[in-house]
Structure 1
Amino acid sequence: MRTRTRRSNTAALGALLITGTLVVTGCSSSSKSTSSGSSAIPTPSAVASLAAQVPAGIKSSGQLVVAADASYAPNEFKDANGNIVGMDVDLAKAIAQTLGLTANVQNSDFTSIIPGITSNKYNLGMSSFTDTKEREGTVDMVTYFSAGTSTAVKAGNPQKVDPNDLCGKKVAVQTGTTQADEIKNVLNPACSKAGKPTIPNNGDQFDLQTDVTQAVVSGRDDVMLADSPVVDYAVKQTNGQLETIGSVSDTAPYGIVVAKGSPLGPAVQGAVTELMANGTYKAILEKWGVQAGAVNQSVINGATS
């Protein structure tokens, strides 16, 4: 959120909505099993060939310092005890273990993470960063997930929401997200142009994603828009009170942020590939209910725009 996923092309989306075709919906060694939260995920063994690629300074410290903005469930957030948890956190720990290290995940403001990478304050940034050409000019990005925008409604879709046409529907979104911007800048102008009622209030906006979810569960709003892993997690956490409709749109890869040209980049990319091969990657995504964003290959700097 907060512009972590890339924004849609407004002109194209507006045209599609008017014509009725827009879908507004919406990353081997031996291992042993351990328990993490309520789900068992494998604990990967270190891979010597990958560990050998780790820069000497990091290797001697024994730690992989990872920055995350812990405000974005289920990818990175704080649990009831104040611990930083989430899909990205579990993946960071598994990557570190594969490299023969221990992950030291630190909470950081989202906008401070890339500067922290370039100043060597952090070794990695794992905070739902979309891999973009602009970011690749400053840092390297190791792809590991795919996210876009998804749509969710109350189970059974009692308001008969059509994901192709949200005009006139009460839509819940989190404040400051691309979804909120899209309602104001894309969807409502397109509704007006088509002679249809607009989405009231440019969407009902909430500071917390949990309040967005509750607005739909309670029936206050008809539908919610959010990043695809967030919606998948909300469906899981509400125990069937919500369901997704349509498909994910405007998808783009998430990337692990690494210093530009660092040998740590290929080591991390190799670790992600290893985790995909040994089943750890799949188990982590399934634990957090975000397996729909799984990718089959990790690359360095895979941005398309």
Structure 2
Amino acid sequence: MAASPRTRRQVPEVIVHATTRSLPAVLAAAALTVALAGCGSGGDGSGATSGGAPTTAAAPAVTKDDALAAMVPASVSSDGKLVFGTDASYPPNEFTAPDGTTIIGLDVDLGTAVAQKLGLTPEFQNSQFSGIIPGIEGARYELGISSFTINDERIKTVDMVSYFSAGTSLAVASGNPEGITPDNLCGRAVGVQAGTVQVDDVAARSQACTAAGQPAIAVTELQQQTDVTLALTSKRIVAMLADSPVVSYAVTTTSGAVEVVGEPWDTAPYGIALGKSQGQFAQAVQGALQAMIADGSYAAILQKWNVSNGAIATSEVRS
């Protein structure tokens, strides 16, 4: 796998296992407040809550923190913008609105709030996923927020700030007429997005199939996750592997055509990526996220997108 896949988006020489931690009382209370205001609640262990499609509510306003803003390097803050690279093909994390141009999603709301906390205006640029980390290294983007899983391979080239926890889930046609499970995929047509950890996952499963004398998995690898989901709903494949919030979102937005099988596996944190050797920039981003966790705005954003089960209690810098 190349150096920039997701956990979708992960390079797993070593797969990191981490369970979602409980939020402090103030965060739980904030989430409850939003739920009482009319958002769905509940959970299925998938990294997303089961309250239906995300609401159209605006993300909560976040105020500037002068101390954190002062930690941002002048090379970043001088133009007043914070430029993010993102691959807008992975709902509900990052995708395009019905107008076809506006980028929306969980990561966009969180990135916008981080920028506001640092006193900057966010700008999200749509990029092929594999080009985001090279774009950070080449100074095209100041940050990358695109469901990147934190792993040892990535932090060789970028620093990463944790903000969410997700795993891999299996989706099949509603009713699961073929009785598909993660352990009986041999010989079946399974879809994954290119450049994701699911590519490695399905390859390892396919190798295990052939080693046991069974047929290999017939893998369909597509450039965009939305195309993988379409392949499943149009019955060109019988199953897909993707990040848990993405699979849960597909369930809520395909008119009952898709369902999740079992529980997610290989749960690990997502991270915002940024270049190395930039003074206190990573600490500023981490501080912004931690402040949002403390004031409840983080919980409100996750609740908006029905992914509260992926919340983390503490944001950390990995470098």
Do the structures match in fold with TM over 0.5? yes
Given that 1:141 and 1:258 are in contact with CA atoms closer than 8 Å, whether structure 2 keeps it comes out as yes
Q: What residue identity is the alignment partner of 1:135?
A: R
**Which of 147, 158, 166 is the aligned partner of 2:177?**
158
Q: 1:44 offset after TM fit, Å?
A: 1.4
1:253-281 residue CA offsets vs partner (Å, 9 max, x unmatched): 22212222321111110111112222222
2:294 maps to 1:271: no
From the superposition, tell whether residues 115 and 190 of structure 1 become closer, same or farther in structure 2 (CA, over 3 Å): closer
Corresponding residue of 1:16: none
Instruction: Please name the residue that 2:225 is paired with.
Output: 209
Instruction: Please give the TM-score of this superposition, normalised by the length of structure 1.
Output: 0.77
Q: Which amino acid aligns with 1:124?
A: L
Which amino acid in structure 2 is aligned with residue 259 of structure 1? G
Moved over 6 A (4+): none
Q: Which residue of 2 aligns with 1:257?
A: 273
**Where does residue 92 of structure 2 map in the other structure?**
74
Q: SS of the counterpart of 1:43?
A: coil
8 Å contact kept, 1:63–1:102:
yes
Distance across 2 between alignment mates of 1:180 and 1:54: 36
Cα distance between partner residues in 2 of 1:8 and 1:136: 13
Are positions 1:65 and 2:55 aligned together? no
Find the aligned partners of 2:273 and 2:13 in 1 and give their Cα distance. Answer: 25
In structure 2, list runs of 5 or more residues that go unmatched: 16-25, 35-53
Instruction: Quickly say closer, same or farther: Cα 1:96–1:174, change in 2 above 3 A.
Output: closer
Question: The residue matched to 1:64 in structure 2 has which SS?
Answer: strand
**Structure 2 residue aligned with 1:3:** 5
Please give the alpha-carbon distance, in whole angstroms, between the structure 1 residues aligned to 2:235 and 2:136: 43
Aligned residues: 278
CA distance in 1, matches of 2:232, 2:123: 36
Q: Give, as a single letter, the amino acid of the residue that structure 1 aligns with 2:84.
A: V
Percent identity between the aligned chains?
Answer: 49
Please give the root-mean-square deviation of Cα atoms over the aligned residues, in Å: 3.1
Change (3 A) 1:274 1:150: same
**TM-score, L = length of structure 2:** 0.74
Q: For residue 245 of structure 1, what is the aligned residue in structure 2?
A: 261
Which of 156-165 and 225-234 deviates more? Answer: 156-165
Instruction: Say if 2:146 is the partner of 1:135.
Output: no
Equivalent AA in structure 2 for residue 266 of structure 1: Q
**Alignment partner of 1:45 out of 37, 44, 63:** 63
Is the partner of 2:60 in helix, strand or coil? strand
Moved more, 267-276 or 43-52: 43-52
CA distance in 1, matches of 2:5, 2:134: 17
Moved more, 87-96 or 146-155: 146-155
How far 1:94 sits from its partner (Å)? Answer: 0.5
| Matching of residue 147 in structure 1 with residue 166 in structure 2 | yes
Q: Counterpart of 2:289 in structure 1: which amino acid?
A: V
Contact 1:167 1:197 in 2 (8 A): yes
Q: Which residue of 2 aligns with 1:294?
A: 311
Instruction: Between 262-271 and 235-244, report the one with greater CA deviation.
Output: 235-244
Could you tell me how far apart the structure 1 residues matched to 2:256 and 2:318 are? 37
Partner of 1:125: 144
